[in-house]
Structure 1
């Protein structure tokens, strides 16, 4: 074949999860272009798919913090200390964390829809079953919470990658924003609905059955029943306020972060991790001040919580978008799983137990004072905003490499690594 003859067209097939790209040329899409399907779905069906995923994400986060919302009532019911009650969240996160890579591996190779449905069935059955645990079987509740992590691992790992397959560019960023906005919205609505259900039923177990959150007070044994209902009503009011703050600040924060990213991304290639870093570092002192003021000024506490949650919510959608554009489509589920595993390993996998253990250790200094009972919990929770500073530092480190990482993903996806 002479050099002036046209080069024969090469057929390239990249297959993953029954989604493949077939081309009769050597040109390949960049890292932001989703794979073309043999039978591509319509734009309308793509939007419907995102709506369904958002709805499930809403339920997912309403369910995730159910145990945290009813933790005081669970402690009273089973008679357990803070450290033991913290295990309920720890085993859930550990299960979620270690199963995520498995579902990520499967999601890059098999039908994602079937994997999600199977995981969600396990999630629903174990959540419902945990609400029937008897007082003498606390460790059964621990086991069921570990199994609940199965459903979330399957869903949280795969759902964002499906959105990445359906959309590209700024439209993908917007769809990711809608998806992740239901993290704070689901958590906030869980508090609101959980308070209502708790008042109506008078039983913390109905919170689990309803996949919602509730806050119940830890009452002295000498308190009278009239006083009881008054205290529950007071806690319910606080739940409504906190839930409303979480919903509003979550919506504002996610869309504000997305807007700032769109404005800066073209001029500043590393804008995304810098926005996340600024949000994390700015939110930490807000939460620190909110914790300190909790004993003296509730309005000031709510104000700083609102500011802190808004700043923290800046990174929800941006972080997911970063992962999608620095990883080729055929490995996005695996990458999502690894990201989930690492962030939980260094975060909330051990923090519930650790905070509970610190609180229990501080109890020995004054076991009788209700004032110290509040302060020891306050001091243990102060660990959270301090760790948040480390998160901001890691985002700054990411900003140093994000440009090169994105280019590497584009080159890899362009077919430069494929022998034609």
Structure 2
């Protein structure tokens, strides 16, 4: 692993020690409060404050992705309301992703230098407020504008939250906590479909589907401010006073980090697939199902509900499975992480293709294909995040998260929902 780190500045020695999990003699390293090796292979217990912090971060990540995909569960209703086609329907997600990826570097810079609790609380408050206000808009372009503002708020949380975990835990325990954190992505996405379509069906209007997560978001703001811990950067690794460098130097060093750049390139392909699949998957399944005998009058909300259940179940299996394989295989094969990610993608590609291509021929086999394909796809989430954290120095991890968000969304899911909508 140390050979993969190319940050060539004054912190190289510290980072190399971090990668080797060497015990530090730093007086600022409170080994009784943080889980790290003590030189005998034993670990100090996790504090209650750390447990609460992880719970808060996972809860916010859950509602973050619920909010992001609630619209996908009610997309057909929105298209009918505003009388728009698939191109403008896809533009709703593209506008969100564009603002999300543009603002990510800003929050990455701030996250490496200022109070992360306050930055995250501000972001969650902003996306909750704009989602709620947007649900009252009766004009498509106003609705599109508020949807883009949601991306500004979400950029702050997604960029900073993983670095909090990286500053509290090391090695296998960090991998487990990241798996728990990213576990919320497919589960939250699935709940987004369920809440959006279910609320629209029960209350008779799609608008209320967008008013559930803002209420949970306001609760999350209070939880962040009151209960969450703000660890020092690099403290669990024994280097809590690393010197920050300029933003331009951070970017230069990151671009020279081969492991980081290659994992970012691979994750960009994953973002392209997941973005288009999450946005248009239920719609394609619904259009195909309508062509089958006996399903002519099937409701789009019903298909979106089933798709959400599949996505959530696939996340329940796929994310922890990826983390488990990583922890088991790295004992004998230190470079197993990228191979697990590549294997998952090679398995998922034909399964997802067949699942969508056969949507007009059968129903239940399609559900099985998409379910298994998403399990394989979900192997990536926690592993890619872990790769970033162990190949990047603690004092520029927020910037690295932001850079990865910018690249993966710019060439991934920023354009794929709109592109697929235009092609349809």
Shared fold (TM-score, shorter chain, > 0.5): yes
CA distance in 2, matches of 1:178, 1:148: 24
Asked if structure 1 preserves the Cα contact closer than 8 Å seen for 2:359 and 2:366, the reply is yes
Q: Is the CA contact 1:32–1:168 (under 8 Å) kept in the aligned structure 2?
A: no
1:186 aligns to what? 188
Mapped contact 1:187–1:247 kept (Cα < 8 A):
yes
Aligned to 2:220: none
**1:376 match:** none
Contact map agreement 2:104 2:406 (CA 8 A) in 1 = yes
Counterpart residue number, 2:53:
49
> Which position in structure 2 is the counterpart of 1:323?
388
2:103 aligns to what? 99
Give structure 2 stretches of 5+ with no counterpart: 1-10, 35-45, 215-277, 287-295
Aligned to 1:13: none
SS at match of 2:381: helix
Sort the Cα spacing of 1:314 and 1:339 in 2 relative to 1 into closer, same or farther, 3 A.
same
Q: Determine which of 121, 128, 134 is the counterpart of 2:132.
A: 128
From 114, 120, 129, the equivalent of 2:118 is: 114
Provide the residue aligned with 1:177 in structure 2. 179
Tell me how far apart the structure 2 counterparts of residues 98 and 295 of structure 1 sit (CA, whole Å).
Answer: 38
Q: Given the alignment of the two structures, is residue 333 of structure 1 paired with residue 333 of structure 2, yes or no?
A: no
Cα displacement (A) at 1:293: 1.1
2:155 — aligned with what? 153
Mapped partners of 1:192, 1:130: distance in 2? 20
> Does residue 1:255 correspond to 2:243, yes or no?
no
* Deviation, structure 1 residue 73: 1.2
Q: Is the 8 A contact 2:196 2:210 kept in 1?
A: no
Are the structure 2 counterparts of residues 69 and 196 from structure 1 closer, same or farther at C-alpha, using a change threshold of 3 Å?
closer
Return the index of the structure with the highest Cα Rg. 1
Map of 1:141 onto structure 2: 143
1:336 & 1:190 partners in 2: Cα distance? 24
Deviation, 1:67, is: 2.1
Residue matched to 1:414: none
Equivalent residue number for residue 212 of structure 2: 210
Matched, 1:82 2:86: yes
State how far apart, in whole Å, the 2-side matches of 1:122 and 1:203 are.
24
| Residue of structure 1 in register with 2:374 after alignment | 309
* Aligned residues between the structures: 322
- The answer (yes or no) to whether the contact 2:91–2:418 under 8 Å persists in 1 is yes
Cα 1:300/1:105, change in 2 over 3 Å: same
Specify the alignment match of 1:18 in structure 2. none
RMSD: 2.9
Stretches of structure 1 that go unaligned for 5 or more consecutive residues are 1-20, 220-229, 360-420
Q: 1:212-227 to 2 correspondence within 5 Å?
A: none
Distance 1:293 1:40, change over 3 A: same
Greater shift in the superposed pair: 36-45 or 56-65? 36-45
- Structure 1, residues 103-158: CA drift from partner, whole Å, max 9, x if none? 01100000000001111111111000100101xx2111111111100111000000
> Which deviates more from structure 2 when the two are superposed, residues 137-146 or residues 56-65?
137-146
Give the distance between the partners of 1:27 and 1:177, measured in 2 at CA: 23
| Residue in structure 1 matching 2:418, options 346, 353, 374 | 353
* Structure 1 counterpart SS, 2:388: helix
Q: 1:81 to 1:260 in 2, by over 3 A?
A: same
- In the TM superposition, what is the alpha-carbon distance from 1:40 to its structure 2 partner? 5.7
> Are 1:289 and 1:304, in contact at CA under 8 Å, matched by a contact in 2?
yes
Tell me, in whole angstroms, the C-alpha distance in 1 between the residues paired with 2:321 and 2:67.
Answer: 26
Q: Cα offset for 1:32?
A: 7.0
Give the deviation of 1:236 after TM superposition. Answer: 4.5
Offset of residue 240 of structure 1: 3.7
Quick one: distance in 1 between partners of 2:415 and 2:302? 30
Summarize the Cα distance change of 1:82–1:118 in structure 2 as closer, same or farther, 3 Å threshold. same
Quote the residue 1:286 is aligned against.
351
Answering whether residue 47 of structure 2 is matched by residue 59 of structure 1, we say no
Q: Matched residues in 1 for 2:137 and 2:301: separation?
A: 25
Residues 70 and 216, structure 1, Cα contact 8 Å, conserved in 2: no
CA-CA distance at 1:31 after TM superposition? 3.5
Contact kept? 1:97, 1:153, Cα under 8 Å: yes
Distance in structure 2 (CA, Å) of the matches to 1:84 and 1:242: 22
Please, what TM-score do these two structures have when normalized by structure 1?
A: 0.71
Query: Which of 349, 361, 365 is equivalent to 1:300?
Result: 365
Deviations 1:329-382 (A, max 9, x none): 1111110111111111111101111111112xxxxxxxxxxxxxxxxxxxxxxx
Provide the C-alpha distance between the structure 2 equivalents of 1:274 and 1:280, rounded to a whole number of angstroms.
Answer: 10
